[in-house]
Structure 1
C-alpha cells in the first residue's frame, strides 16, 4: 500500500510524534510511506532519520484563503503524480486541504485524525467556534474515516452532527521502550526522596491552548517554599512568558529550560508534573509521564480523564483555571513521599495500556476497513 501522511506543523509536538510512530511502524510493515509537511522544521529531520521521503508544501497554521488555495492546488498535483492508495491527514488546516485534495483525486481511503477538535476550545469566540464546527462538518463528508484520539472528541463530534459511522477512537501510544522497569523506578524514588528541593515540571509548546497563565499563578503560591518549576519547551509565546516571569518576579521559582532532546531524563528528575491546558486531544506528555511513573496533576480536558481518572476517584484533575485546587493537589504530592510514590506507581501501571504497537494495530484496522 502506498500511504501519504500530511501535517501542518513540523515542530515536534504531540501530533508530530503520533505521525512519526505511524510512519515508522507502517514502513517497517513494508508499505511505501511518504509525508507532506506544511513547513520546514525538526520533524523533517526526524523523518529523514527513518528514511521516509518528505516534501514541503507551505500550509499556513491559520485560515488564509489565498495561501490555502495555492496549497490545495500543489497538494492535488502531488497526490495525482504519486498515485496514493491512502491519504491520512493530521492537524486542522492540513486536514482540510489534504482531504479536499484527496477527494478531488478520488483517493480510496481519505482519513483524518483529529488531535482535539478546534471547536471544543472554550477560549474561541462563538463566531470562530461556529466556523470551525462548520468546516469539520463539511469536510467530514469527503472523509472516508475520522479518527479521534479520545472518547471526549468522539462524543463531541457525534453531538455536533459528525457521522458516527465514519468515526473511531484510537488513543495515542508511546513506545514500550519508554516505559521504565519497576526496579529502576524504585531506585529513582529513593533519589527523589533525598532531594531537598521539590521539582514540578511542565513539558510542551508555549502556546495559548496550554494556558501557562494558570501555571504561573499556581507557581506564585509557592513563594518562600523549597520548590522549583521547570518549564521545558518552546513556541510562539516563549518570549511573552519569559517577560511575564521577570515582571512577576518568579525567576527564583520558575526556570525556563528551552527545548530538550532528552525529555524523559528531565522527567526522571521531577517530583510531579502539571498540565494546565484549556484544550487537548490526548497529550503525549501525559502518556510519557505515565511511562516514567511521574504523577501529573491536570486540568480536566480532552482525553486526560480517560487515562488517569476515568471514574473520578483519584483526585488528580482540576477545573480549568482553578488555581487553588491545582495548588492543593500539588502540595499533597510534595509533602508526602509515600502518597506521591503511590500515585506514580499507579501511573506506571497505566502506561502499558497506551503503546505505539496497539495504536498502530488499531489504525491498520481503519486502513483495511471495507477492503476484501
Structure 2
C-alpha cells in the first residue's frame, strides 16, 4: 500500500493549479491512498476529497514544514508529488526532517528562477533528490537534458483534458466572427500582442475580440485598449467562470505568449473543436500541426496573426476541418484518462 501526498503552492486559477486539481479529483488505485495540501484559493471549490486535504499558509513556510512533517509521519506517506519547485524544496526538507524513506516526484510546469539564475544548482537538486521528473512536453524534456539532468529520471506525460467535459461542439455561424484569448493577465501571456492584432483588424467589419482572464496586467491592458481606441472592438470579460462555454463561443482562440511549456488551454480548445491559433513557442507544436490541427504563427507578428484570422474567417471548411482533426488528436494523445494512468505508474 502506497500513501501519496500531492503538493502545490496555492489554489489560484492557473494551468499548474488546474493540473493539481485534476490529479486530486481523478487519481484512484486500490493499492494507494491519496492526500493533498496547498494554501487555499478560488480553486478550493474544485477539491473533491476535502477530508484528505491539508490547508497550508501562504507565507509561513516554517509552519507549513512543521505541519507537513507531522502529517507525513502520521499518514505514513511513501510518495510526495511536488507540483512546483518550491514544493519540491519543501519535500526535500520534509524527507530530511522525518528521516522517512519517501519517493519524490516533481512535475515541471514552467521555467523556474533557480534554473535561470543558477542552472548548475537546479540540475544538482534534481539529480540528487528526485526519483521521477514529469515533463509535460518533449520540449521541456529536451530543456532538462540540456541542463544536464539525468535522462533516466525524466518521463514525458502530457497534460490531459477531460474529453467528456470538453465535448466536441461543431462551430455554429454567428453574426460576428469571434476571436478570443483565455489567459491570466500577466506579462508572459503577452496581451499587448493580442491588442496589436485587434488594432490591425479594427476596421474589418463583423470581427469582435474577447479577453477572458484577470491578473496583475489588467490596468495595463485597459490603458492599451484606451490608447489604441479599441473600446468598440474588444471586450474585457474578467475571469471566465465557465472556460468551456467561453471557448465554444469563439470562432478561433489565440495564444500570444512570450514563453510557454505546454498550455492547457490549447488542448481544451482542440477538444471542444474551436480552432486554435498560436505563436510557435515551447511544446505547442507537439499538439498543433500547422493547418492540420490548428494554425502556428512562427513569430510574434501581429500582421501574420491578422492575415491568418482573415483567412480563417473566409474559409468555413478550413475551420471545420481544423476543429475535427484537433478533437481527434486530443482523443488519441491528450486525454485525462491517459494522463492519470501514466501518473499512477510514476508512484509505483
Task: Give the TM-score normalised by the residue count of structure 1.
Answer: 0.84
The CA distance in 1 between the partners of 2:144 and 2:165, in whole Å, is 32
Report how far residue 179 of structure 1 moved.
4.4
Segment drifting more, 155-164 vs 133-142: 133-142
CA RMSD of aligned residues (A): 2.4
CA distance in 2, matches of 1:52, 1:253: 47
Match of 2:52 in 1: 53
Distance verdict in 2 for CA 1:217–1:103, change over 3 Å: farther
Match of 1:98 in 2: 91
- 2:290 is the alignment partner of 1:336: no
- 1:135 CA drift (Å): 4.6
Q: CA deviation at 1:5?
A: 0.8
Q: How does 1:233-272 map to 2 (within 5 A)?
A: 233-272=213-252
> Residues of 2 paired with 1:199 and 1:245: CA distance?
17
Question: Corresponding residue for 1:295?
Answer: 275
1:313 Cα offset (Å): 7.4
Partners in 2 of 1:71 and 1:131 — Cα distance? 26
- The 3 A distance-change label for structure 1 pair 12 and 156 is same
State the partner residue of 1:115.
109
For 2:58 and 2:66, the matched residues in 1 are separated by: 11
User: Where in structure 2 are the equivalents of 1:73-92 lying within 5 Å?
Assistant: 73-92=66-85
Shift of 1:9: 2.8
Q: 1:33 Cα shift?
A: 1.9
Q: Which residue matches 2:137?
A: 150
Secondary structure of residue in 2 paired with 1:285: helix
Question: Aligned partners of 1:69 and 1:131: how far apart in 2?
Answer: 25
| 8 Å CA contact 1:116, 1:280 repeated in 2 | yes
> Are the counterparts in 2 of residues 75 and 98 from structure 1 also a CA contact under 8 Å?
no
Q: Is the 8 A contact 2:4 2:78 kept in 1?
A: yes
Preserved contact between residue 59 and residue 94 of structure 1 (Cα < 8 Å): no
What is residue 10 of structure 1 aligned with on the other side? 11
**Aligned residue among 148, 165, 169 for 2:152:** 165
- Matched residues in 2 for 1:102 and 1:43: separation? 28
How far apart, in 1, do the equivalents of 2:8 and 2:202 lie? 41
For residues 153-191 of structure 1, give each alpha carbon's deviation from its aligned partner in whole angstroms, at most 9, with x where no partner exists.
00000011111111100001011303435xxx3xx43x3
Q: CA deviation at 1:221?
A: 0.6
Q: Give secondary structure in 1 for the equivalent of 2:287.
A: helix
Closer/same/farther in 2, CA of residues 69 and 355 from structure 1, 3 Å limit: same
Q: Hey, what's the Cα distance between the residues in 2 that align with 1:228 and 1:94?
A: 41
